[in-house]
Structure 1
Amino acid sequence: MGRGTSMTLEEKVKASAEELRTSGHPEDAERLERDIEYVSKVWADSPADVFLADDLGDLLECLQRMLAILGRHVTV
């Protein structure tokens, strides 16, 4: 990505999944990809009158799983 070009959350997660895949963690990569696709679909299909909190409540387990996967592989 060039300077001034931003990635969507979905693009960032998919890029992270690809990094996991190339570093020998294909199961985690696959799970991340499935989860972000689900999150994107729920948000895209969500009616305009539904509060964000309602969507997040529906996605809580999925988001927690994604964070746990990423947390296992983060190096500081």
Structure 2
Amino acid sequence: MTTPERRAARAGMPVRIYRLGHEPPDTWLACPTAAERLEMVADLSERMFEIAGRPAPSYTRATMPIRVARLA
């Protein structure tokens, strides 16, 4: 279930609907530099943690919790 606050926050989110096959071209992907794309990913990640109501991870890259699974 969602809370009224979360519902209200989503009410202002922009939504665009296109007919299948009539979507606008993805030309915006060709424009940003690698640095700009990384900045977008960082901004989106930060926003998703805010939307989820969870704190962003505070570990460093060297101490990231990962697991290496070797293929047999």
Q: TM-score, normalised by structure 1?
A: 0.31
TM-score by length of 2: 0.31
Q: Which protein is richer in helix relative to its size?
A: 1
Q: Return the index of the structure with the highest Cα Rg.
A: 2
Bigger relative contact order, structure 1 or 2 (CA pairs below 8 A, ≥6 apart): 1
